[in-house]
Each structure stands twice: as C-alpha cells, then as structure tokens.
C-alpha cells in the first residue's frame, strides 16, 4: 500500500487474532491501536476522534459487542470506514452492518481481500477530495 501512515483501531477479544492482524496491518503501513472489547474500542475512538482512519472490529465480544460499538461511533462519526469481521453472518447482523455503513468480512479472513478493500476505500476517499466545485469567474470585457 503506497499511502502515508494511517491509524487503525483494531477491536477483537481474541488476543492472538488482535496481535496477528495488527502485525499484518503494520506491515502495510498502519499505526495500530488495540482494544479487547467494544467498550474499550469506543473509549479509544473518543480519545483519538478525528485521528482514526479505519476501524476493524469483531462482533461477539464481552462488555460491549461490535455492533453496539459501531452504533455509538456512528452517532459521532458517520464516515470513518469500519470493517466488521465475524464467523456468524446472520441476516439480522447483515442488516445492522449495512444500516451502520460498515463492510462485512467473514471468517476465515483473507488478508489480501481486506487490503484490497482498504485500498479501494483510500482511492474513493482520495477521489472525493480531488473533486472540487466548479467556480465561474467573470472576465471583464476589453
């Protein structure tokens, strides 16, 4: 990924998954913040508001699940990209993920697919900032 260092909030209650995914994301240029549940993830998000470029979260976690965390985050930030990783893709869960403007990746995780998706998000974000409104400037007649 050829982009400047971005900050990722990685939320998962499984220590091994957190550390493995974090290490892989660091390899592609991310500065990674870690949280072991939604409550801590929400707290980190609030502390670092405006500085987090991407959130990757599990769904099933103690204290606060990933969906409740996403709902709380969306009340504060409607646009930060969120990727949800789960092994339980039921229709109600899919509806909640879509309603909260997040993207679902099902376990087992294919790291290359996530990176491709992140690059696409980065490209769309960059394209949106490149588009500027057309400005008409009147030219005085000679």
Please check whether residue 138 lies inside any domain of the structure: no
Q: Give the pLDDT confidence of 58-88 residue by residue, as tens digits.
A: 999 999 999 999 999 999 999 999 999 988 7
The CATH number covering residue 105 comes to: 3.40.50.2300
Q: Check residue 1 and give its pLDDT.
A: 42
Give me the number of domains the chain comprises. 1
Residue 2's nearest CA partner among 31, 28, 40, 41 is 28
Q: What's the mean pLDDT when you consider all of the chain?
A: 84
Q: How many CB atoms lie within 10 A of CB 86?
A: 19
- Residue 22 to residue 44: CA distance in whole angstroms: 16
Please check whether residue 1 lies inside any domain of the structure: no
Q: Check residue 69 and give its pLDDT.
A: 97
Q: Check residue 40 and give its pLDDT.
A: 98
Return the DSSP state at 87.
S
Q: Give the pLDDT confidence of 100-126 residue by residue, as tens digits.
A: 889 998 888 888 888 888 888 765 655
Please check whether residue 139 lies inside any domain of the structure: no
- Residue 40 to residue 46: CA distance in whole angstroms: 10
Query: Which domain, by its residues, includes 63?
Result: 6-130
Residue range 16-28: average pLDDT? Answer: 94
- Say if CB 84 and CB 60 are below 8 A apart: no
Q: Check residue 133 and give its pLDDT.
A: 43
């Amino acid at each position: 990924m050829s982009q400047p260092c971005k900050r990722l909030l990685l939320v998962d209650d499984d220590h091994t998954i957190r550390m493995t995914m974090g290490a892989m994301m660091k390899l592609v240029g991310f500065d990674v913040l870690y949280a072991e549940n939604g409550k801590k993830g929400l707290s980190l998000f609030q502390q670092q508001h405006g500085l987090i470029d991407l959130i990757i979260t599990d769904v099933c976690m103690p204290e606060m699940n990933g969906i409740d965390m996403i709902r709380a985050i969306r009340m504060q930030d409607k646009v930060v990209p969120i990727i949800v990783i789960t092994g339980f893709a039921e229709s109600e869960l899919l509806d909640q993920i879509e309603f909260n403007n997040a993207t679902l990746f099902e376990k087992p995780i294919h790291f290359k697919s996530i990176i491709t998706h992140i690059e696409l998000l980065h490209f769309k974000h960059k394209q949106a900032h490149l588009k500027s409104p057309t400005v008409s400037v009147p030219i005085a007649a000679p």
